[in-house]
Structure 1
Amino acid sequence: MIRTFLHFLSLLCLLLAIMAGTLDSIESVSSSSVVMTSLGNHWQNLDVVSLTLAEEAVRNYIHPDVWRWAVAPLLAQPAFAVFLVLSLLFWMMGYRRPRFAGRFSA
């Protein structure tokens, strides 16, 4: 059941990566230059309040430097790349190697 949930998260992240990549490619074609929107810009365009709340929560409950050293560089990366990496990680966590001798071996 956990494996199915991890594969579902992988699919969801893959769909988000495709959506972010499609938006970036449409914007790149319309502006005639390469555009790669960062994850932070996407999050800020969707909901500024939740971004501010997340920053305050990390600074208050974890450590003030965690936002600056770990989260901010992640938010500066292109959104499609972050979601592709997350998709790969979730798929790898849910992967199960096939049995060596087969399913119905003695």
Structure 2
Amino acid sequence: MGSSLRRNIRRPDFLKIPEHPRGLELDIYYPQYGFAIEVQGKQHEQHVKHFQFEKQLMCDQLNKDLCEKYCIVLRYVWYYEDPYIVIPEHLHELGLIE
């Protein structure tokens, strides 16, 4: 998959708003299932040098609100969690896998 296509999938039209005309971004997005995953690094819960913490929190909340508005189920994988365990748990919870 080309980088342009990946970028378009990660920045769906519903995340393009006047404040962010290029669009906010989802880390993993499955539009056919109405499901997205955000991988949350340390900068999403505490101040980390080179990241703007308050801006990050505002974008996180905006992403969450827009996903809810457009009926996209948003789940999180935190930096301290094993994605090979957590992602299948989310998929199972949503009935996407057995």
Q: TM-score range by the shorter chain?
A: under 0.3
TM-score under structure 2 length normalisation: 0.26
TM-score under structure 1 length normalisation: 0.24
Higher fraction of helix: 1
